[in-house]
Amino acid sequence: MPSTAIKTLFANEIQAGVDFFAGGRDTFDFNPLTTEEELAIAKAYRKNVNFVKDISPNIAAQLMAQENVMIKMGGVAKALFPDDKTIKFPGEPGSIVVDFLTPQALMWVKNPNGSTDQTNYGSYSDVAGATTGATGYMNSWDVSLTAGVPAYLLGNTAGGFYKSRSLQENHSMVVLAKDGLIEVGTTPCLTHMSVTTEVQTKYSPNAIQPLIDLPLVGDQNIYQYNTPGVITLTHNLGTRMAVMPRETKTSRLQWLGVVFYEYDFMGTMASTWRTP
């Protein structure tokens, strides 16, 4: 597959102010998309961004500014996956599916530490302080936080890294939008974020400044956190992400982004619910 420098592939987007966290990579393999594939990605993305717009016009505007990034990432997914398939929305058997990110697409295996096709989704596996099998486990953005103790949204403190799925006919790739981490709650609770990969660990944690975007029912608000940029999660490079909470509580920390996957990864209704 042709390899393209990230700064070249996304030159227009970078010039427009979209940052990227490359994690030590300088290039992506890239397969050009057909017009139909570009339209499929745009349809899947806009469908969900328009829904976000009803809740938060500010966040929706930031997401729309990254639409071309998500379209081009489809070419990265086509090159990353081993078989030559067409990107579709909705997906069909034998296709690469594009859709908005859900917990089930991120947390795709029931036993991340024991799986040979390994991933690790850190604190998302610990719902309200419970263990594997808790209600919502793998199907929720809820995270149990302890003040002053790093929480790992991807990977873990023991050296585990997150990777997308690499099983034949089940490959996946996740794209986290720039500033795409939101929290729903009474007060924001995160102060710093650190993102590293298997090949890049040299950078210090970044302060993350939450912005109140919109009051919801009662005293609930949406808080948006700044992130290092667009983050691509693949099966061939592990990523670890830690955040520092200033409060002890269970919080909903949701990622906004896109997932590309081979149809068998999540092609049936039964596969959209992850069972421990």
Question: pLDDT by residue (tens digit) across 191-214?
Answer: 999 999 999 998 999 999 887 666
Query: Could you tell me how far CA 16 lies from the centroid of its own chain?
Result: 22
User: Each residue of 259-270: pLDDT tens digit?
Assistant: 999 999 999 998
Question: Where are the chain's structural domains?
Answer: 34-266
pLDDT over 70 percentage in the chain: 86
Better-scored residue on pLDDT, 58 or 135: 58
Under the banding of pLDDT at 50, 70 and 90, the label for residue 127 is very low
Residue 197 near residue 24 (C-beta atoms within 8 A): yes
Tokens found for residue 259: 């997932």
Phi then psi dihedrals of residue 60, to 5 deg: -60, -40
78-90 mean pLDDT: 96
Of the candidate ranges 3-12, 176-185, 217-226, 266-275, the one whose mean pLDDT is the lowest: 217-226
pTM: 0.92
Sign of CA dihedral 45, 51, 53, 58: negative
pLDDT of residue 118 exceeding 70:
no
Cα-Cα-Cα-Cα dihedral sign, residues 220, 221, 227, 229: positive
Pick from 166, 155, 141: which is nearest to 257 by CA?
141
Neighbours of 19 (CB within 10 A): 14
